[in-house]
Structure 1
Amino acid sequence: MPISRRALTAVAVALVLPLSACGSGGGDGGTSDASGKVEGDITFQTWNLRANFKDYFEDLIAAFEEKYPDTHVTWIDQPAEGYADKISADAGGGTLPDVVNVSPDLVAPLARAGLALDLDKAAARYRKEYLPGAWAGHQVPGTTGTYAFPWYLNTGPLFYNKALFEKAGLDPEKPPRTYDELFADALEMAEKSGGEVATLANVPTIEDFGRYGVPLMNEQGTAFTFNDPKGVELLTKYKQLYDAKALDPQALTATGESAGKKFLTGAVAMNPGSALDLGNFKKNAPGLYRNIGITDQITSTGHVNMYVMGLMVNSRTRHTPAAVAFAHFVTDARNQMVFAKRVAIFPSTAGSLDDPYFTKEDGTDETRVRVAAAKSLKNAVNYTPVLFSEQMKTALRNEVAKALQGKKSPKEALDNAVTAADRLLRQS
């Protein structure tokens, strides 16, 4: 997947995959036994990575083929646009590559269709090499197993404008660390600024409900549950912020880019981001840059949100040992560390985040954010349910907007969002 300037956002789609779909290895000749000789020709598909990382992947493949002389890897890179549709078409047509770059939401329908190899059975010996939260990122509710090697991770802190905090009479060195503190500070800032300065610029998403401690889905993976009393409580608090202009009035239609611009101009006091944003602040908003504060994501669970990418092995491949060995090779500690030093992502392997690259500051802004994010990733989780599709996200966003506008109560809005999501789930 393309590495965005703020985070690795998942592209979701409801894929209907026939259970009889054949893999690229040639139909029913596949096996889940990964213990045999590593040999054969395999295909490896990435998600819009060739343009920026061609040399890295060519060197990686060459190193693998040198280690296993009886293998040959053909690298395919697909564009970002239409990637989910491409996977769906390949799965249905029997041309799914042997190793596929996926996000959790993309692996879910493949796993349910029997097209993703269960690594808990085929590659359980590697599990201890990865962070527990990352390994769990490609598990699917209602099934047993793990369906992709965790690859690169990302997360980000919250940036805040110290000057705006001070102007509102808030301690700029003590940003909110709990939801109660966040809501209290936001209301005070809106009051002190006469509604001119909002603290937040985005409506709550499914990840926000997760961070608040709302149960998102039942254990069977058959129904969503974010309309429970705690979910209603969160949306009610956002309604209070919206009414007080502590939530930006344009939040209902905001994108990550538009929210970032609001923060850049001083109209919003807090915004999520990444190390890449600091360079933008320094260049385009030096006043903000001089007053920038960095704090952790707000969470009631003790776990921040992570974005995770993975490598899935096609269960129908003819060369399971080679496909598993390659997916593990790409995602092992050494190769992930090399990749992480070329771009602002984080390795999913256990112990890697203890490397000085992720623990020691050198006085630069980029390092400040990298160290903070790496620390939080050690016990981070992917809050977005793997079965929560793009259509479901839209349904939730629409209902949240109606609640904030007062057209529906928070309870009614979330009940409707859950009903819509459950209907889409049954159709997938």
Structure 2
Amino acid sequence: MPKSRRTLAAAAVALILPLSACGSGDDDGGTQDASGKVEGDITFQTWNLRANFKPYFEDLIAGFEHKYPGAHVKWVDQPAEGYPDKLSADAAGGTLPDVVNVSPDLVAPLARAGLALDLDKAAASFKSAYLPGAWASHQIPGTSGTYAFPWYLNTGPLFYNKALFQKAGLDPDQPPKTYDDLFADALQMARKSDGKVATLANVPTIEDFGRYGVPLMNKEGTGFAFNDAKGVELLTEYKRLYDAKALDPQALTATPESSGKKFLTGAVAMNPGSALDLGNFKKNAPGLYKNIGITDQITSTGHANMYVMGVMVNSRTEHTPAAVAFAHFVTDAQHQMSFARKVAIFPSTAGSLDDPYFTEEDGTDETRVRIAAAKSLKNAVNYTPVLFSDQMKTALRNEVAKALQGKESPKEALDNAVETADRLLRQG
């Protein structure tokens, strides 16, 4: 299961359905009407959850079957590796389960192929039960409809090393709050350390452009737009950081794991993370843990980034009322709250983040992070466009690398990335 901000990001991979799967879910198969009796045998597929949460899901299914004696749920769990390929094969072969654990980018091609039930039509009465940003996360630009119930959310703060800030002549109790602050502090950190300490370890991704306020895609969902003036501005700033060694030299090939190690060893002064990271700091880097600073994500929009998982209903299920009822049951406030107490994730249901578990301090850093994250999630958004595939992410990363290395201007790099993304979008 994706447990942290970084692993959730890594789990969001692309799915391209074979052309043979294209079509409309209204043409054949199941019914779109979810108002009938909740009964029948349905299959529920999760994404790498059985190993750690088997008792939870067995109890959840038992509770549903007790509430609806005429319904029976078969639970299957797929490993993380190859999950998109498994969905693609099932979609093409007509063996897609009735209820499926998805991320927004995985649901997009299924919805476009007519295989994801439109909940705005089939389950509109449930919409108000979820946070608006979470409900919207499974919508697709250029189309109407919502194609999965939002399930668990994650986000996280920025951690920073107070000792490194102080050594660089920066106030350890006043971390950067704006991008201007961030860039200025990063340059000072690099100067004071003679380029030995970078502030950031990662190149900008599509979500970073979103947080900076760059328009990522046109409203019609037919093309990308992150090569506008504001996008070029952000990449130009990162180029300045890279040249000054304020951005780690290995950022071009960094992974979440390698960036985390850089932060642990004091080679990098700031790194995103979640409450789960605090235990790692305490165990593996006690010196860092004693000097850990915690601050909010930096954004120009006022909205933090949200990572979201969802539960989709197969539009061709033979038991739509049961499938919709179970998908909602999995994601309702009671069960999301129960799940959130077992692992460091957050419920997507309206009002749940006001629970004392997410609002009351107890003096621990873990609770402080949880409370801050919960507060930011109330109006957070999923910046990664649901149509931005893994291939597109790779193209953007490659072009960003060329810009940072001076092989292309920031404008040329982003123009090329948008051109590639648009071409892949048309092919999809």
TM-score when scaled to structure 2?
A: 0.97
Counterpart AA for 2:351: G
Distance in 1 separating the partners of 2:278 and 2:217: 36
Which residue in 2 is equivalent to 1:79?
79
Which residue in 2 is equivalent to 1:398?
398
Distance in 2 separating the partners of 1:412 and 1:22: 39
Counterpart AA for 1:316: R
Which residue in 2 is equivalent to 1:18?
20
Answer yes or no: is 1:374 the counterpart of 2:374: yes
Distance in 2 separating the partners of 1:417 and 1:308: 25
Answer yes or no: is 1:193 the counterpart of 2:193: yes
Distance in 2 separating the partners of 1:5 and 1:182: 20
Which residue in 2 is equivalent to 1:288?
288
Counterpart AA for 1:38: V
Contact 2:203 2:400 in 1 (8 A): yes
SS in 2 for 1:58: helix
Contact 2:224 2:418 in 1 (8 A): yes
Which residue in 1 is equivalent to 2:347?
347
Which residue in 2 is equivalent to 1:265?
265
Distance in 2 separating the partners of 1:92 and 1:13: 12
Contact 1:190 1:196 in 2 (8 A): yes
SS in 2 for 1:18: helix
Distance in 1 separating the partners of 2:29 and 2:150: 26
Instruction: Summarize deviations over 1:153-195 as a string: whole Å, max 9, x none.
Output: 0001000001111111111111001101100110111111111
Distance in 1 separating the partners of 2:81 and 2:189: 40
Which residue in 2 is equivalent to 1:222?
222
Instruction: Summarize deviations over 1:366-402 as a string: whole Å, max 9, x none.
Output: 1111111111100000000000011100000000000
Counterpart AA for 1:312: M
Which residue in 2 is equivalent to 1:118?
118
Counterpart AA for 2:354: D
Contact 1:17 1:91 in 2 (8 A): no
Shift of residue 287 of structure 1? 1.1
SS in 2 for 1:46: strand
Counterpart AA for 2:293: G
CA RMSD of aligned residues (A): 1.3
Shift of residue 5 of structure 1? 7.1
Q: Any residues of structure 2 matched to 1:25-424 within 5 Å, and which?
A: 28-424=28-424
Distance in 2 separating the partners of 1:402 and 1:321: 51
Cα 1:40–1:21 shift into 2, 3 Å? farther
SS in 1 for 2:20: coil
Distance in 2 separating the partners of 1:17 and 1:47: 24
Shift of residue 20 of structure 1? 5.9
Shift of residue 363 of structure 1? 1.6
Counterpart AA for 2:66: E
SS in 2 for 1:101: strand
Distance in 2 separating the partners of 1:148 and 1:190: 45
Shift of residue 19 of structure 1? 4.8
- After the TM superposition, which segments of 4 or more aligned residues of structure 1 sit over 2 Å from their partners? 1-7, 13-23
Contact 1:22 1:316 in 2 (8 A): no
Counterpart AA for 2:90: D
SS in 2 for 1:138: coil
Distance in 2 separating the partners of 1:21 and 1:216: 28
Instruction: Summarize deviations over 1:265-289 as a string: whole Å, max 9, x none.
Output: 1111000011111111111111111
Unmatched 5+ stretches in structure 2 = none
SS in 2 for 1:369: helix
Pairs aligned (count):
425
SS in 2 for 1:347: coil
Counterpart AA for 2:287: G
Moved more, 388-397 or 9-18: 9-18
Unmatched 5+ stretches in structure 1 = none
TM-score when scaled to structure 1?
A: 0.97
Distance in 2 separating the partners of 1:349 and 1:417: 36
Shift of residue 361 of structure 1? 1.5
Shift of residue 17 of structure 1? 4.7
Shift of residue 15 of structure 1? 2.5
Distance in 1 separating the partners of 2:193 and 2:29: 68
Contact 1:7 1:155 in 2 (8 A): no
Shift of residue 310 of structure 1? 0.2
Shift of residue 3 of structure 1? 3.0
Shift of residue 14 of structure 1? 2.4
Shift of residue 2 of structure 1? 3.7
Counterpart AA for 1:382: N
Distance in 1 separating the partners of 2:270 and 2:375: 21
Contact 1:21 1:94 in 2 (8 A): no
Contact 1:17 1:109 in 2 (8 A): no
Contact 2:201 2:251 in 1 (8 A): yes
Instruction: Summarize deviations over 1:41-79 as a string: whole Å, max 9, x none.
Output: 111000010000000001000000000000000111011
Instruction: Summarize deviations over 1:227-278 as a string: whole Å, max 9, x none.
Output: 0000000000000000000000110011111111111111110000111111
Distance in 2 separating the partners of 1:312 and 1:49: 16
Distance in 2 separating the partners of 1:290 and 1:389: 40
Contact 1:22 1:91 in 2 (8 A): no
Contact 1:13 1:391 in 2 (8 A): no
SS in 1 for 2:137: helix
Distance in 1 separating the partners of 2:16 and 2:245: 36
